[in-house]
Structure 1
Amino acid sequence: MSVTSTIVEPVLNFSGIPAYALVGGLAFGEAAVFCGFLLPGETAVILGGVLAYRHSVSLTVMAMVVVAAAITGDSVGYEVGKRYGHRVLGSRVFAKHQNAIAGGQHFLHRYGGRAVFLGRFTAFLRAVMPGMAGAAQMPYRKFLLFNALGGLIWGLGFTLLGYLAGASYHRLEDYAGKVSQAILVAVIVGVAVFALRRHRARSRLTAPLPAHETTAPDAVAPQAEG
């Protein structure tokens, strides 16, 4: 059993309002406090779906709580990033994650709103992407559009997956974790390839031209009039 499962499995002992509050709080806290790699929001959402399968909560209400908490938490993370983003991301807490942060920043710079949407489906980027968007001064309306779309699909999707998985949610948790890691690796590799190509293109543009190309052609002497 993973450490994440050990932390959040007590959720399965909850029902009603306490269950909604706990699952929603974990979904909210991922981006709101920049701790998504510590707060197991995605696993908690899956377990929220399992609770619905066990009839401890309503599937519809749980999905609504998760979506609202995800979107609201990201909006808080955006505001925190807008005011303190560079300071927070450069702190000791993120010292071991600077490569992933740099990759996320390049990803955001290149793809804008699409990066916000895709970041929702990667554990680490889900935690830091809203703050990065705020620090990059992305217009809030644009951020909210892509964030809400991602939060809607993510919240409904993982709650429903937990419900359909039922007692087999452990397999689903492991699968979701592997997919999330694969997406993050693909983002980092893609950004690295893009940066390398851009560097080579700039090198070609700034390279000195051969001597025969830099020599001005001789002026053509005008023909004498007959």
Structure 2
Amino acid sequence: MTGYALVAGTDPSTLTGVAGWAVNLMATLGVAGAAIAIALENVFPPLPSEVILPLAGFTASQGTFGLVEAIVWTTAGSVAGAMILYLLGALIGRDRTRRLMGRIPLVKLSDIDRSEEFFTRHGRAAVFFGRMVPVFRSLISIPAGVERMAISTFLLLTAAGSAIWNTIFVCAGYLLGENWDAVQNYAGIFQWIVIAIVVAAVGWFVTSRLRTRSHVADS
């Protein structure tokens, strides 16, 4: 969880801190403000998408912009933010990027190292599923850049994974209306569901590969 607990039924106009900043950004710039907020969330992992995305959904429910617009623009913001970290890893390398990210408040070097290990083990799957796991959603872009994953592949996987995560939370905020912040109560549950799916998918992939090699060896 993000640590940004809110009271159910909170009026967005009364919010302060990160949530209040996101509300003001969307009120000033419209749907582009939602994209900017999510782009920054990707670059600075402590910013909570579990707050920003439902807020974008709630704002869409008030007619400020459309639901589809909110999903498309927040996904574009996710891709833009991820691309910044990808380029950072590609241009200045692992060690300097690690030191730089380690200076961001609430970002742990151990999280960066786990993201790197996750990418090393799972590659493309890590980029896709990582978009649906808090903190890893941002940090997984760094090893992808360091290892120079094909940009087209990186962008496609990032867009697909981000679209799923963003759609769920934006739609939840849209449907819940003034109770948009109740989404946070279920964010942790969804995170563990995603992790379980990743483990199952990786297990299936490894098993399939081993069976294929076994059949080749037998023939």
Kindly tell me the number of residue pairs found equivalent between the two proteins. 185
The CA deviation string for residues 92-121 of structure 1, in whole angstroms up to 9 with x for no partner, is 416961222222111111111110011111
Q: Could you tell me which residue of structure 1 aligns to residue 4 of structure 2?
A: 2
1:154 aligns with 2:165: yes
1:64 aligns with 2:68: no
Aligned residue among 181, 195, 200 for 1:170? 181
CA RMSD of aligned residues (A): 3.0
Q: Which has the larger radius of gyration?
A: 1
CA distance in 1, matches of 2:21, 2:28: 15
- In the superposition, relative to structure 1, how do residues 90 and 25 fare at CA in structure 2: closer, same or farther (>3 Å)? same
Aligned residue among 128, 133, 145 for 1:122? 133
Aligned residue among 85, 90, 102 for 1:77? 85
Greater Cα shift, 96-105 or 113-122: 96-105
Q: Could you tell me which residue of structure 1 aligns to residue 211 of structure 2?
A: none
The one-letter amino acid of 1:60's match is V
Deviation at residue 63 of structure 1 after TM alignment: 1.6
Deviation at residue 152 of structure 1 after TM alignment: 1.9
Deviation at residue 133 of structure 1 after TM alignment: 0.7
Q: Could you tell me which residue of structure 1 aligns to residue 97 of structure 2?
A: 88
Deviation at residue 10 of structure 1 after TM alignment: 5.3
CA distance in 1, matches of 2:110, 2:25: 38
CA distance in 1, matches of 2:44, 2:175: 28
Residue pairs, 1:1-226, within 5 angstroms: 2=4, 6=16, 7-9=18-20, 11-12=22-23, 18-31=29-42, 34-37=43-46, 39-86=47-94, 87-91=96-100, 92-93=102-103, 97-177=108-188, 179-180=190-191, 182=192
TM-score by length of 2: 0.71
- In the superposition, relative to structure 1, how do residues 72 and 10 fare at CA in structure 2: closer, same or farther (>3 Å)? closer
- In the superposition, relative to structure 1, how do residues 136 and 162 fare at CA in structure 2: closer, same or farther (>3 Å)? same
Identity among equivalent pairs (%) = 26
CA distance in 2, matches of 1:137, 1:169: 39
The one-letter amino acid of 2:175's match is L
TM-score by length of 1: 0.69
Contact 1:36 1:124 in 2 (8 A): yes
Deviation at residue 16 of structure 1 after TM alignment: 6.2
Which residues of structure 1 form unaligned runs of 5+?
A: 191-226
